[in-house]
Each structure stands twice: as C-alpha cells, then as structure tokens.
C-alpha cells in the first residue's frame, strides 16, 4: 500500500521577479533609466574585483555586463537570488553559461545591438589592409613622405570569404559588394538559398580557402571554431591572403597567423580581438602588416545606446511575461510567453506532480515520454517536457528545478526524455505523459479546457469528469464498491475536511483511480488505509 503526498508552492508560471539589478560595467545611461522606469532598483559599480562581485552579487536578482566582467562558476554559485544575466552586446563568452543554466539563471545577450558597428569596423579594416592607411598615417606623423612604400591594391574584382553568415556577416557582404567585391562564404546553419538572396555563394571551407583574396570571420568562439584559421588552412589559401577578425580572439590561431605573416603566406591582418585582452602576443601586434584595435567592434555611441536599451527592454519584457528575446540558454522559454502557453506549462508541471505522488515519489525515474496530440501542440513538446520535469523533481517550496535548468537536471538524475507528436483528431489538444519507476510504467493524459488545465486519465482510469488541476487533490485507487465513496467521505468528514467534487473512473470493474477535490489537505493519509489500496494527495 502506498500513501504519498506533496506540498510544494503552487506551480504556476509566474512572472520572473526582478527587483534589484547590478550593472558592473559602463553601459549607456538609457539602460538604467529604462529599468528604473519599470520599478527596478539599479546599482552601478564599475571595476569590481572578482571577490567584490562574489560578496555583493547575492543581493541582486539581475546582473548586466559587457565583456570585461567574467561571470565565472564561483560567482554564479554565490548568487543566491540571481535570475538573469544580461550581456549588453553580442556573444556571452565571458559568462559560464553551463553553470548559470544548472542554477536556473537565464543568460541573454543583445544579438543585434552592435551588428552595424561591428560590420562597419570589419569593412574599415578590409579597406585599411588594401591601402595601408594606418601605416601611411603613422609615417606622415613621423614627418616622412614615402609614396612607394605604401603601394596598395583595389578591392574591385577581389574575392572576400566570409566565415559565419549571421547578422554581421550579412551586413559585411552587402557593404563590400558595393565595392565590386565577389562574396563567398561558409555557414553550417544559414541555408544556402538565404545567403544567396543577399549575394553570397556558400561552399565548404576546403573550397573557400584557395579562392579568397580576403577572409573575415564572424562566428562565435566554440570548440569547432577555435583555431579555424591555422597552419593547415593558411597553407590552402592564396599566397598573400589578408584576414580580418572582429569576432572573437582564438578563431584565428595567433601563432599560426604570425608564422604566415613572417613567411608572406598571409599578406596582412586586421585584428580587433585577441585570445588574451589586453594582448600579450606583442610580436603579432607589432608586425608591420598587422592593423590592430583594442576591441572596438561595439565601441560606437550608437551601438552602446542600442545595446543598453535592448538589454534593459529585454529584461523588462521578461519580467512582464511579454517576450523572451536574446536568451542563449532558455530557448524552451521563447514560446512560453503567451497566455495559452502558460496554461499548458501549468498542465505539464501539474501532471508531473500527479505522477510523482501516484508512483511513490521517492523512487528514481527511468524515462519520461511526452506525446503531444493535435495540431495546436505540434511545437510544444519542448516546454511541456521541461514543465513535467519541474513537477517530477520538485520536493518542496524553493527546492526544485525551473524551466531553465529542468532538462539538464533531468539528465543528471538519469531521466531519459523522449518527445513525440500525434496528429490524431480524436484527442486534439492533449498531452500524454509516461514515466517509468523501477520498471513500472505510469501514465497520465491531460488537456486545457476553458483555460483550465485538467486531468483526463490516470494509469488507464478514464475519469467521468475532467479533474481541474488546481487546489487540493486526493487521488486514491480501489475496487468499485457502493460503499467506497461513503467510506472516503466519512474519513474526510471525521477530519473536518469539506469535499468540493468527486470524479470516478468510467470503468466499473477492477481497481481504478478516483479523485476528490478538497478544501484542505488531509492531515493523515493513514486514516484511509482500511478503505483504499493506494492514496496520494497534493496541493496544485
């Protein structure tokens, strides 16, 4: 006989509460103004040491950074209230996204805030490499007049290879085409027909390297892009190829680049980013064919204003449940900021909690299988799976996952998640949830009716009346009997508990699940032992 109960806080998907935000770097004043206008207290503290940030971050719900603040795992571990880390710029290389995700903290950036500025700087470096503009300017300041030394080349008719065809890569391509430059590129994500629509012919890297007069990189820094331009790839390029990196230090192997410059295989480099910043590879920086900038890609008034405004508005929209833009570790939440999605999230979490108590909640789960049914849920399996894990793994108030870290925590605990979809018309707009516990299978079917999450079936027991998944619920399993309901209501009455409704299974033989909605939870489930085989209760 199993008698289980669960008393967590209500599992509704409430707006994220952001009351205090720390801005740890120089961000455009509009960021602070927008946050304050929306009732969020803002503190600005620049040039904080790591220890200072660790000691103070516990007092804040949000953190806004640019690129200088390194939000490491130990900083995140000390952030007891932190719910969002906002990077006012492109990329999140300075944030330990995995550590934030495991703690349920949303990490977001402003993917389009500095697009134009970064693209314009890239084009500036390409043109400067062609005409040796910085070197000629420095020569003039040294009171020299040496026209022959700075013989350049036209961009017209040359071929530019663009590695990474996202927002910035696209803007670089369209601008360089105006100089009569042929643009080719590589990107494993952007469809070839999309890049072709703005004049870039896609090909493999092996095909791209030998065709380029110039190469520019616009990818994130990850294992697959680290050292993308190295000794081998330089050897495949035209002799004298010129390269530009305004993306992330490390995409171009700095040691290989220096060797290529010294041998003449590389004719020049424009670098705005470095593996270490400030850089320590001074032989590369000081090479006469290298043009360097101190990470100026987003250093325009317009980009800074745009990034500051974007990150503030993104945080406000998240708090108000209007939208979730720029989240890099909470893609499952992107489609949940609608009233309809909120109802299905509540359903998924509530069903997970029902299965938790009705399967004896202390047992380890083997798998979770979510099957969405009906066209309206075709793209909903992601957040329903996360919501179900929240319900299954929540132990009590403040003790469990959220939609950000649910799936990583499920993987850590050994739960294998499977998602599928059925277009069956008989059960349109429904979610079937199945969990295994020590080899035993437990199933539940739920839906949303009149904006209310309801339970339709539990372990094969089809309820006569859909069960609203709210309030205090008592589930019990027993064989059908004319004395069953009077016996159960007698126990409740003896405990002073008023019954709101009762739903029985449509089956009339064998042991079936029943549900009672109550005004309050039963203090002692043991009082039902003589009446039913199994019992479980929870507050939803």
Positions marked active-site: 248, 277, 295
- Rounded to 5 degrees, what are φ and ψ at 396? 180, -175
Instruction: Centre a 10 Å sphere on the Cβ of residue 146 and count the other Cβ atoms it contains.
Output: 11
> Which residues make Cβ contacts (< 8 Å) with residue 71, sequence separation at least 6?
63, 65, 85, 94, 95, 96, 100
Sheet holding 41-44, edge to edge: 41-44, 20-23, 62-65, 84-87, 106-109
Please provide the DSSP assignment of 247-313 as one string. S-TTSB-HHHHHHHHHHTSEEEEEES--SSSS---HHHHT-TTEEE-SS-TT-SHHHHHHHHHHHHH
Looking at the DSSP bridge assignments, the partners of residue 214 are 160, 242
Query: Measured between alpha carbons, how far is residue 216 from residues 47, 72, 176, 199 in Å?
Result: 32, 30, 12, 16
Instruction: Centre a 10 Å sphere on the Cβ of residue 264 and count the other Cβ atoms it contains.
Output: 10
C-alpha angle 235-160-92 in degrees, rounded to nearest 5: 85
| Tokens at 316, concatenated | 């406000």
- Burial of residue 324 (number of CB atoms within 10 Å: 0-12, 13-18, 19+): buried
What sign does the CA torsion over 150, 153, 154, 160 have?
Answer: negative
The answer to whether the peptide bond before residue 278 is cis (omega within 30 degrees of 0) is yes
């Amino acid at each position: 006989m199993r008698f289980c109960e669960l008393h967590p806080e209500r599992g509704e998907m409430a707006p994220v509460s952001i009351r205090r935000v720390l801005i740890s770097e120089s961000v455009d004043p509009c960021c602070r103004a927008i946050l304050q206008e929306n009732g969020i207290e803002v503190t600005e503290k620049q040039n904080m040491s790591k220890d200072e940030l660790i000691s103070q971050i516990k007092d804040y719900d949000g953190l806004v950074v640019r690129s200088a603040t390194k939000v490491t795992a130990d900083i995140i571990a000390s952030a007891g209230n932190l719910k969002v880390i906002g990077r006012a710029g492109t990329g999140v290389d300075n944030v330990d996204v995995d550590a934030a995700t495991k703690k349920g903290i949303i990490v977001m950036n402003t993917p389009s805030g500095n697009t134009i500025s970064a693209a314009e700087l890239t084009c500036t470096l390409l043109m400067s490499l062609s005409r040796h503009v910085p070197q000629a300017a420095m020569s003039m300041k040294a009171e020299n007049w040496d026209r022959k030394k700075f013989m350049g080349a036209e961009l017209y008719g040359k071929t530019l290879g663009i590695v990474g065809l996202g927002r910035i890569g696209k803007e670089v391509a369209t601008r360089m085409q105006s100089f009569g430059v042929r643009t080719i590129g590589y990107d494993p994500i952007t469809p070839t027909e999309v890049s072709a629509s703005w004049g870039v012919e896609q090909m493999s890297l092996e095909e791209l390297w030998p065709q380029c007069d110039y190469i520019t990189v616009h990818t994130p820094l990850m294992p697959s892009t680290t050292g993308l331009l190295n000794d081998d790839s330089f050897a495949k390029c035209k002799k004298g190829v010129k390269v530009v990196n305004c993306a992330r230090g490390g995409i171009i192997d700095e040691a290989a680049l220096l060797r290529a410059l010294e041998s003449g295989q590389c004719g020049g480099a424009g670098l705005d980013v470095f593996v270490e910043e400030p850089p320590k590879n001074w032989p590369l920086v000081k090479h006469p064919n290298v043009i360097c900038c101190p990470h100026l890609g987003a250093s325009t008034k317009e980009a800074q204003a745009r990034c500051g405004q974007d990150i503030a508005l993104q945080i406000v929209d998240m708090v108000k449940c209007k939208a979730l833009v720029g989240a890099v570790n909470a893609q499952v939440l992107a489609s949940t900021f609608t009233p309809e999605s909120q109802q299905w999230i509540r359903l998924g979490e509530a069903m997970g909690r029902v299965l938790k108590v009705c399967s004896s909640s202390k047992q380890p789960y083997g798998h979770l299988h979510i099957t969405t049914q009906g066209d309206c849920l075709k793209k909903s399996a992601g957040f329903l799976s996360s919501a179900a894990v929240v319900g299954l793994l929540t132990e009590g108030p403040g003790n469990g996952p959220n939609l950000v870290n649910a799936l990583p925590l499920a993987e850590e605990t050994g739960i294998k998640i499977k998602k599928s979809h059925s277009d069956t018309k008989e059960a349109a707009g429904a979610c079937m949830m199945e969990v295994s516990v020590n080899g035993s299978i437990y199933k539940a079917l739920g839906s949303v009716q009149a904006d209310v999450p309801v339970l339709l079936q539990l372990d094969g027991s089809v309820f006569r009346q859909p069960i609203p998944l709210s309030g205090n619920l008592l589930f019990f399993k027993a064989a059908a009997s004319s004395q069953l309901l009077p016996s159960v209501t007698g126990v409740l009455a003896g405990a002073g508990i008023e019954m709101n409704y009762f739903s029985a299974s449509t089956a009339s033989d064998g042991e079936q699940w029943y549900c009672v909605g109550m005004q309050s939870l039963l203090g002692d489930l043991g009082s039902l032992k003589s009446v039913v085989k199994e019992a479980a209760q929870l507050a939803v």
